[in-house]
Structure 1
């Protein structure tokens, strides 16, 4: 099956190469696509005992407690934001190439550690072929995607044949992965609950209440700002999830500020949150903002299709937390946080008029088992 899969992947690459080149002209993909699909400026790793693989920025942040335990490591990623975050942790960082390149690109390691749903057949097969142990950590299958996984269970059973240990977030995930062919499954909780981020900078908290619209996606800013009523002493900060949307969101906030006669500034220019409306247009500052915030409205949850974002990063700072109802990808994490206010976009103003309880993390994952297994490999 692996040989058939490889040639199918090769055919798809040959067929889609021209489209990938066109797509790489977009700012979002101009580095990641050439690196992954054409190996442009993406040589093999330097040899390392532990190879970690995760997808993007959020996953790299979540794995940091594991990264910090091991010096002899390599990290592969999928996205540019993931790469930028990983390179802060170690120099041995690469984009994971498309499947057809892995047989000659992948370096031998003692253990391959895959995060969540990064299930690439050629990656696990070649890692085993080169003598590595393979473990999957923080594995989960959402309610929404479970049926899709079942339709291709024959494929996932082949993948799990090459995975030695699977650490899952919950008993439900364990049951679902067993049906997909996973073996040696251990319920270890959600790694993201064990990662308690610390501020990298301490900013002066502005007078009054600081309200944050965090990790917002396309369409959410207009929904959340429409009819939003701020108290006279409130300060509002909007932090879009994706940096390529900074200019788009700046226009939205500028119009909102003009209509309401509010002062508006970009954080990249002001360096503070003292104006009535601020756009957080700098990466890596959201945790610093959470540290001085009073209320966080967590995006990715007010429009269908995203599935929510990590509420634990907010709860460790004991802010009041307001979320939308579309959290299907983050249910396990939300279950670990108390005092979350779930609301529709047009209910935010009403909630802000109340004295909201602070959210808290109620349970944290124990990483000792995973750290021990990696260390023994």
Structure 2
């Protein structure tokens, strides 16, 4: 790489190269933690049995489930132009979502470990015509190696949180060397654009948040009807994508609210499904009645908490209640995306830690489309208010839907920004008259 690289990146590249032989040890450790697919371990070292399709290939990379789903509508637009898609991500969960919800012609690969050798294998095999990095999952060797191969790279749905920005400012030369390799940065908001510009992005355009344009998640009709039949007549709260430390608070919230709503059922959907057993054990230890979906259990009239620890069923549970608590917000995780729930007619309650979606929640809260609970006492109050006041619930739902409608349009703006690259691909495919 050029000698102009800052010393941090030069050292990083050397260390990554030296540690490459230790990859099998890391892979085995991650296997034990259920963080790897044993049938696809080679992909972490840039190896694959999948063939590169003929013609232009757009490579889209997102860290995990949220980023992959954010790209769903964009992928559909690209497929409509007869462009083949290579989609990479870093988690088993995201790979399962791709298999469940994306068309069969989408090529999914696990992103290789960020070693020059592994990255080189990956890029030499796939030879992407265009690389789209979603949000802020910036791996130095991927970016530097792609740039060295003259691969056009665009950062889409770019997000730079208020927490990350000052940390990167302390490493300004490092982040500038990475962001400067991108042709263009498509930022979610004016604030994100200002931060990317200050950190060294050469060309920044505000296109909005692609997550506002995602379709509502699907639900199996038969499963939905079955759940509706066993929950019929009961008030239901759905706690979506919860993290460690939140389930205990939600259990106590349920206990208090059940004094006012005696038949209340709380559905807890852990962000990481493998935590379901542990969450259920914690609930059972308090004497509360719990059912676990991964055991194919259904809630009965005596069930207090239903732990929905399965993959790809959020759309099912969002359809069971208009009152949704968005997890990752009572603990400093940064919150989860409320848009899918809103598109299914939900009233949103969340905790104070929503920095991953700060602009969206600020707008929703200001419009009355979401309600923040700063404490466990406020959580009880807000959820109880939504459960017991149909007019307030309807007003909240309508306000949230208006916010999403007003803030939408990122997909069209993103496609417009990518048009020069896509036009070149169509020329190469002979689909556009020169």
Is the TM value for this pair above 0.5? Answer: yes
* Residue 155 (structure 1) aligns with: 174
Match of 1:68 in 2: 76
Task: Tell me the distance in 1 between the aligned counterparts of 2:340 and 2:170.
Answer: 34
Which has a greater percent of helix?
2
TM-fit CA distance, 1:115: 0.1
Q: Cα deviation per residue 1:293-341 (whole Å; 9 max; x = unaligned)?
A: 121111101112x111111122112222111101111102213434311
User: 1:112-127, aligned counterparts within 5 Å?
Assistant: 112-127=131-146
Structure 1 residues 311 and 227, CA gap change in structure 2 (3 angstroms): closer
Residue of structure 1 in register with 2:17 after alignment:
10
Q: 2:162 is matched with which residue: 143, 167, 172?
A: 143
Is the alpha carbon distance of 1:108 and 1:87 closer, same or farther for their aligned partners in structure 2, counting shifts above 3 Å?
same
Give unpaired runs (5+ residues) of structure 2: 4-9, 425-434
Describe the SS at the equivalent of 2:94. helix
* 1:184 alignment partner in structure 2: 203
Structure 1 residue 118 displacement after superposition: 1.6
Q: Which has the larger radius of gyration?
A: 2
Alpha-carbon distance in structure 1 between the residues aligned to 2:300 and 2:185:
47
User: Aligned to 1:138, what secondary structure does the other structure show?
Assistant: strand
Aligned length: 370
Report whether the alignment pairs 1:92 with 2:107: yes
Alignment map for 1:1-377 (pairs within 5 Å): 1=1, 4=10, 5-14=12-21, 17=23, 20-21=26-27, 23-31=29-37, 34-35=41-42, 37-39=44-46, 42-43=48-49, 46-47=52-53, 49-71=57-79, 72-88=84-100, 89=102, 90-99=105-114, 100=116, 101-106=118-123, 107-202=126-221, 203-204=224-225, 205=228, 206=231, 207-226=233-252, 228=254, 229=256, 230=258, 231-256=261-286, 259-260=287-288, 262=289, 264-270=290-296, 272=298, 275=301, 276=303, 277-304=305-332, 306-337=333-364, 338-339=367-368, 340-343=370-373, 344-354=375-385, 355=389, 356-357=392-393, 358-359=396-397, 360-361=400-401, 362=403, 363-372=407-416, 373=418, 375-377=422-424
Superposed displacement of residue 270, structure 1: 4.5
Query: 1:198: how far off?
Result: 3.7
Cα deviation code 1:14-70 (max 9, x no counterpart): 5x547514522423323389446445x745662452111111111111110011122
- Checking the alignment, whether the CA contact within 8 Å between 1:212 and 1:295 is kept in structure 2 is yes
Q: Tell me by how many angstroms 1:140 deviates.
A: 1.3
The alignment yields a C-alpha RMSD, in angstroms, of 2.5
User: 2:432 maps to which residue?
Assistant: none
| Separation in 2, partners of 1:18, 1:271 | 38
> What's the CA shift for 1:214?
1.2
